[in-house]
Structure 1
Amino acid sequence: MSRHVALFAYPDCQLLDVSGPWQVFASANALSKQPLYQLTLAADAPGTLMTNGGLALEASHSLDQLAAFQPLDTLLVAGGSGVARQCAAPEVLKTLYTMASQVRRLGSICSGAFLLAAAGLLDGLRVTTHWRHADELAKRYPALRVEPDALYIESAGRYTSAGVTAGIDLALSLVEADHGAELAGQVARELVVFLHRPGGQSQFSQILRGQQSAGPLRRLLDRLHADPAGEHSVEQMATFMAVTPRHLSRLFKRHLNTTPNAYLTQLRLEQARLALLEPHQAVALERLAQRCRLGGAEQLRRQFQRYYGVSPSVYRQRFASSIQHPLTEADPCPLP
């Protein structure tokens, strides 16, 4: 029996919020050679609507007509610049609230979280949205527990996700939950995307985060980013900046809300993460930890799990584009 998945779109929604998840489910159908998912595009009313990118979509049903589909397994709400008008539409909010009890999974892509929040469907739950809108979501709806850095979150049967491509990650996670990791992996490879980023993984890399808020630390961060595994003691960093170690720590706290050593550790973890994705290499964890100056294998495991939410071996299995060898403790093929 196929699962019925509906996506709710509206004028000035974000095109990829609709087409990304839709294609994940459609590809699952194509790759399994059977109709695992019945897909429906709904809107305020059936007919043509214009996305904020200028490309038209054709909705086959209105939102209230979805109530006739029983059972409706999953309903996902798109985000986009038109979401404010939907939040101010009482009939839309009422219909969403009514339908919430009739669907197994209710979720949003990007700023679609505002619409679910306006309908009173996220109160008391952990949620996320695009990083640009996270503060506003928390301010408007204080009953929500907004986690601005997560890619997607499931909380009490409600699903919220970050900007645009995170909707693909969310959809892949739903396919995996329904039909297993093998099919989700096939879909990811078909779409040439990673399978699938853990929901708790950061929306930003540490490099991008640092570049956006570095202030007077920019020259030092460029130096650290160029060679994370280099010798970078706090004293050496302070000398480079021509400040005392104590003042350097204050600068890191003020501009990056972290310490020099913690920032450097995160950079080194990113270096290790990228090394795990290198195809055709057997990566010895002990060797990788030494190469990235992260101590030993066990220390690397603990820090990797804490920062990325998965172990190094699981991360490699999910994300490596071409896995030829398992992650091992031995070192049959040393890294250069």
Structure 2
Amino acid sequence: MSKKPPFQPKPRDVLIVLFPGFQIIDAAGPIGAFEIAARYAPGAYTIRTAAPAAGLAPSSSGVPMPAEALSGRAKVDTFIVVGGNGTGDAMRDANFIRAISKAPARARRVASVCSGAFLLAQAGLLKGKRATTHWRRAAQLAQMFPDVRVEADCIHIKDGAVWTSAGVTAGIDLALAMIAEDLGEDLAADVAREMVVYAKRPGGQAQHSALLELDSAASRFAPLNAWMREHLAEDLSVERLAAQAAMSPRNFARAYATETGVTPAKAVERLRAETARTALAQGGAIQEIARRTGFGDPERMRRAFMRLYGAPPAAMRRTLRRA
């Protein structure tokens, strides 16, 4: 009997799209992941870089990276647009945006890292889709592109053939998820070990603490936010919160939304969901967690999880506990 031939993966051409002022880790992270994957599965990936003009594309750090000129014609498997401080200028480059807009016709999947989501949105590729970006830029993305369903808490999101990820090192998580889809979870775990990174952060894992974001935006309400976290199982209506803040309900609701960027109700929901997600990773009945965190019943908690994380509590618990 002849021996089974060694596994020969289909070559996949990965195109990393740069621009002047790009963040070098946004590019280097995915490049490193795909390069190491190709060591474990020879021939799995080839990696190229492209920019508005051929030559050395300067990063925001000043360290350049060589790139070919981006065209809208050549076929690739994976098309990844990175982010960085130069995103704003890149959005105003009509030819560059036009080339990006043609990506779905030339690639099996299209993705962005960090503020690269702004370039995909500018090119019309995120319309009607769930997407994420760096937490600091999420509100801006939602404001500039109201037809994009921005989910600020996620590490990465896949909506059809379009992937988006959070900032900087989240590009590695994005690449590992793609490698797992292409070549299997075991090989992706090998790549993660080689890179000495977390084997698989769930896509729905928070980029950072909701409490930290609320407090960094408005220190005025930091004591109230901490109090909310300690009283999640209680009535946290606007009236109750306003009384705690010694303000009228109307003035409180307006001031809180202005200074934190979210309504009091949305802040309460995020704090409850974050606490419930931590509890899920540690075990325990979903019904009891819902009661303890103030959702009251599992269905209300499920709806909040679907809005914030794109997955129900049961699925989130399985993912978090595996990770």
Query: What is the TM-score with the length of structure 2 in the denominator?
Result: 0.72
Work out which of the residue numbers 26, 33, 38 in structure 2 matches 1:17: 26
**In structure 1, what residue type is equivalent to 2:76?**
L
Structure 1 distance, partners of 2:208, 2:136, is 12
Deviates more, 1:35-44 or 1:183-192: 183-192
Residue number among 11, 17, 35 corresponding to 1:8 in the alignment: 17
Following superposition, the deviation at residue 313 of structure 1 comes to: 3.5
How far apart, CA to CA, are the structure 2 residues paired with 1:10 and 1:236?
49
Shift of 1:197: 3.3
- 2:116 pairs, out of 101, 112, 115, with 112
In the TM superposition, what whole-angstrom CA distance separates every residue of 1:143-197 from its partner, at most 9, and x where no partner exists?
x536263644555634444432343343333234333445445545654236243
Written as runs of structure 1 = structure 2, the 5 A alignment for 1:313-324 is: 313-320=314-321
Alignment of 1:1-336 (within 5 A): 1-30=10-39, 32-44=40-52, 47-59=55-67, 61-64=68-71, 71-89=75-93, 91-93=95-97, 95-97=99-101, 100-117=104-121, 120-122=123-125, 124-126=127-129, 127-133=131-137, 145=148, 147=150, 149=152, 151=154, 152-154=156-158, 157-185=161-189, 187-188=191-192, 191-193=196-198, 195-198=200-203, 205-214=209-218, 216-225=220-229, 227-229=230-232, 237=241, 239-243=243-247, 252=256, 255=259, 257-259=262-264, 263-278=267-282, 282-295=283-296, 300-301=301-302, 303-320=304-321
Give the direction of change, closer, same or farther, for the CA distance of 1:184–1:277 in structure 2 (3 Å limit). Answer: farther
TM-score where L is the length of structure 1? 0.70
RMSD across aligned C-alpha pairs, in angstroms?
Answer: 4.0
**Once the two structures are superposed, what CA deviation does each residue of 1:253-288 show, in whole Å capped at 9, x if it has no partner?**
56554346x64453233122123334xxx5343454
Q: Which runs of 5+ in 2 are unaligned?
A: 1-9
Cα offset, 1:105, TM superposition: 1.8
**Aligned-partner residue type, residue 320 of structure 2:** F
Q: Are the counterparts in 2 of residues 128 and 147 from structure 1 also a CA contact under 8 Å? A: yes
Report if the CA contact (8 A) 1:125-1:156 is conserved: no
Q: Secondary structure at the match of 1:35?
A: coil
Aligned equivalents of 1:247, 1:92: Cα separation in 2: 46
What is the alpha-carbon distance in structure 2 between the residues aligned to residue 139 and residue 230 of structure 1? 32
**Long gaps (5+) in structure 1:** 323-336
Identity of aligned residues (%): 33
Cα–Cα, structure 1 residues 301 and 186, in superposed 2: closer, same or farther, change >3 Å? farther
Instruction: Report deviation, 1:14.
Output: 0.5
- Relative distance call for 1:320 and 1:93 in structure 2 (3 A) is same
Q: Distance in 2 between matches of 1:87 and 1:238?
A: 41
Are the counterparts in 2 of residues 105 and 159 from structure 1 also a CA contact under 8 Å?
yes
